[in-house]
Amino acid sequence: MPGTGDGENGVKVAAVVGRPVEHSLSPVIHNAAFETLGLDWRFFAVSVPAGRAGDAVAALRALGLAGLSVTMPHKGAVSALVDERTPVADALGAVNCLWWRAGTLVGDNTDGAGFVDALRAEEGVEPAGRRVVVFGGGGAARAVVSAVAGAGAGEVVVVNRTATRAEAAARLAGPVGRAGRPEEVDGADIVVNATSVGMDGGPPPLDTDRLGPGQLVVDLVYEPAATRLVVEARQRGAVAVNGLGMLVHQAAHAFRRWTGEDPPVGAMAAAARAELTRRAGPPSA
């Protein structure tokens, strides 16, 4: 039956839509997972221009795609085009994963769950009771703020260039959330860079001299693998990681939604790391 992703033609097809999408790691991650479990699925990246999210969702329905990942700039627009949204997608007003539940097209947002899963699985850090400072007020920051509060964080401070967006993001954390100042990284347990600052090799969005031992710093940027924030935080004694764990774990949630199978997270992460290493090229002599 077209439009329910039931794969009556044999192979099931899923895709990521966005623009730019050429450098998305999602095909590498999901195709590695399908191969590891021996599933007859294929995953593609499809470039869809801004303003054309409706065409992408119509294509998914018409072609009977089994699942869709959604990336910039479509996460907001797609949330209005599904039959149902999960509570988290509703709260965030953004969808990054579409899946079928008994013929109903459901929009979910797995970014925040991916962040928290990565903290727990990769760093052994439980957000409950922690003081978390999040830099950013865009889609990634909102997902992280909502998820760490949902996981029981003691306090969630949001710092952003545009104050109104910081306040809006902080409200997603309910009573433990508030907008704050960059100096409040002092004494934070977990510091998250959810801005796009630092992707270009430029300076971090915070004064790294304030960071030190006992803190976990997560830069959601993963390409380059070690931004200046990650390097400087480590030099000051903090544990610092990039956003690859979040990316892999949000994909793992999508994989579970689509296939009903337990995602092979180790194989997915290994494939993503190998692809990033390949792109970075041989180390200079």
Which residue in the shown chain puts its C-beta closest to ligand NAP? 138
Q: Which of 12, 74, 75, 131 is catalytic?
A: 75
To ligand NAP, the closest distance from the beta carbon of 82 in angstroms equals 19
- Nearer to ligand NAP by Cβ, of 195 and 215: the residue is 195
What is the closest distance, in whole angstroms, from the C-beta atom of residue 41 to ligand NAP in the complex? 21
Residues that bind ligand NAP (CB under 6 A): 72, 111, 136-141, 160-162, 165, 194-197, 199, 205, 220-222, 243, 246-247, 250
| Residue with Cβ nearer ligand NAP (15 or 244) | 244
Q: Pick the closest to residue 134 from 94, 203, 180, 198 (CA basis).
A: 180
In angstroms, give the least distance from the CB of 200 to ligand NAP. 10
Question: Considering the complex, what minimum distance in angstroms separates the CB of residue 223 from ligand NAP?
Answer: 8
Tell me which amino acid residue 237 is: G
Nearer to ligand NAP among residue 34 and residue 222 (C-beta): 222
Name which of 198, 149, 189, 199 is nearest 169 in CA terms: 149
Per-position DSSP letters for the chain, written without gaps between them? -TTTT--TTSSEEEEEEESS-TT-SHHHHHHHHHHHHT--EEEEEEE--TT-HHHHHHHHHHHT-SEEEE-TT-HHHHHTSSSEE-HHHHHHT---EEEEETTEEEEE--HHHHHHHHHHHHH----TT-EEEEE--SHHHHHHHHHHHHTT-SEEEEE-SSHHHHHHHHHTTGGGEEE--GGGGTT-SEEEE-SSTTTTS---SS-GGG--TT-EEEES--SSSS-HHHHHHHHTT-EEE-THHHHHHHHHHHHHHHH-SPP-HHHHHHHHHHHHHHHH-SPP-
Taking alpha carbons only, the member of 168, 134, 176 closest to residue 151 is 176
**What is the C-alpha separation between 276 and 285, in angstroms, rounded?**
19
Pick between residue 220 and residue 233 the one whose CB is nearest to ligand NAP. Answer: 220
Q: Kindly tell me which of 150 and 245 has the beta carbon lying closer to ligand NAP.
A: 245
Cβ distance to ligand NAP smaller for residue 143 or 238: 143
Nearest-approach distance from CB 257 to ligand NAP, in angstroms: 16
Least Å distance, CB 218 to ligand NAP, is 9
Residue 12 appears among annotated catalytic residues? no
Which amino acids are annotated catalytic? 75
